[in-house]
Chains A and B, each alone.
Chain A
Amino acid sequence: MFHQLISKLNTKYNFELARAHCDIPCGIYDPISAQIAAVTVVRMIDLMTDLDSKAGEKGTDYHNSLSRYIAVKEEHAEKAKAEIRVIWGDYIKAPHLEKYPELHGLVHQIMQLGSKSRQTTDRQTTLDFVEAINKFTEIFWATKNIATKRVKSPYNPPLELVYPVV
C-alpha cells in the first residue's frame, strides 16, 4: 500500500536514486567461456597435427586450412586469457584473495600458459592451460558456495572440464 502511494508521488516528484551499485547488471560472471576457448586451442593443435600427418602435396588447400587453425588458436587463447582477466580484475575481491591466496599466482600461470599456447604447438602446454583454468573455475564457484564436478566434454577433444552443480 505504502509502495503504491510512494510510486504515485514518484511520478510527480521523481525522487532521487540511491544506487545499490553492482559491478555489472548484474553478476553475470562465468568461466565457462574461458574453458571453451581453452579447449578450442587444444582442438586446433590436434587438427594441425592431423593435417600435417596426411600424405600428399602441401598445396594451397593445406596452407589455407593450416592458416585457419592457427588463426583460431591465436584468437581463442587470447579470448580465454581475457575472460579470466575480467573475472580476476572485476569479480575477485579482497575477501576472496584472503580465502584463496593462490589466486594471483594461478591467474599469472594462466596468462603465461595462454601466451605459450599461442607461441608454440606444444599440446601439453595447451592441456596445462585447460587444467589451470579448471582450477580457477573450481575456486570461482567455491566463492559462490556452489559445488563443482569434473566431467569429460562431450566433444573432441574429450577433456575433463569443471562444471557448477546447479
Chain B
Amino acid sequence: MIQILKVTGESLSPSFREGDYVLVVKTPFLLRSFRRGDLVVFNQPPYGVMIKRIDFLSPDGDNIFVIGSHPESTDSRQFGPIPRSNIIGKVIWNIKSKTE
C-alpha cells in the first residue's frame, strides 16, 4: 500500500519543490490518526490530487484543514477543510530533486 507521486507546483516550497517525488503510505491503519504537521496527499476537485500539510483537525476528526507554506498556496484557506475520506495517503519520504 505504497505509492510514488511526482510533486508539481511550489506551494510547499522550500521543503518540497517542483520535480521532487514523494513516497506515500496508504495503509488504512496508518491513516487512522493524523497530527498537525503531517503531510498528506488527497483528492480535491477540481484541482485533482494535491499535497499539503495538516494545520488542524475538527474536534470530531472528520474534517481536516490543510495549508501550503507558500503565500500564494491554494489550500483550505480558499476551499475550506477537506473531508477525511478524501485523503489518499500520508507522505513518509521526500525524494528531493536537488540536494541542499
Give residues in A with beta carbon < 8 Å to B: 2-3, 6-7, 9-10, 15-27, 29, 91, 93-95, 143-144
Contacts and interface: CB of A to CB of B under 8 A. Distances in A.
Contacts of B4: 6, 9-10, 15
Interface string B3-36: 1111111111100101011101000000000000
B50 to A, nearest CB: 5
Q: Which 8 A-B pairs have the closest CB atoms?
A: A20-B9, A18-B51, A18-B5, A20-B11, A27-B72, A20-B12, A22-B72, A21-B74
Contact of B5 (A17, A27, A143): A17
Contacts, number: 98
A27 B78 CA distance: 16
Interface residues of B, number: 36
A16 B49 contact: yes
28 contacts: A3-B96, A9-B4, A10-B21, A15-B5, A15-B6, A16-B3, A16-B5, A16-B49, A17-B6, A17-B48, A17-B49, A18-B7, A18-B24, A20-B16, A20-B50, A20-B51, A20-B52, A20-B68, A21-B47, A21-B68, A21-B73, A21-B75, A22-B9, A22-B11, A22-B70, A23-B74, A24-B72, A26-B9
Interface string B33-47: 000000001000001
A22 B6 contact: no
A82 to B, nearest CB: 19
Given A15-B4, A15-B21, A18-B22, A91 B48 contact: no
Contacts of B82: none
B57 interface: no
B71 interface: yes
Contacts of B11: 20-22
B65 to A, nearest CB: 11
Contacts of A6: 4, 21, 95
A13 to B, nearest CB: 8
Contact of A22 (B5, B10, B51): B10
A95 B77 contact: yes
B50 A19 contact: yes
B86 interface: no
Contacts of A19: 8-9, 47-51
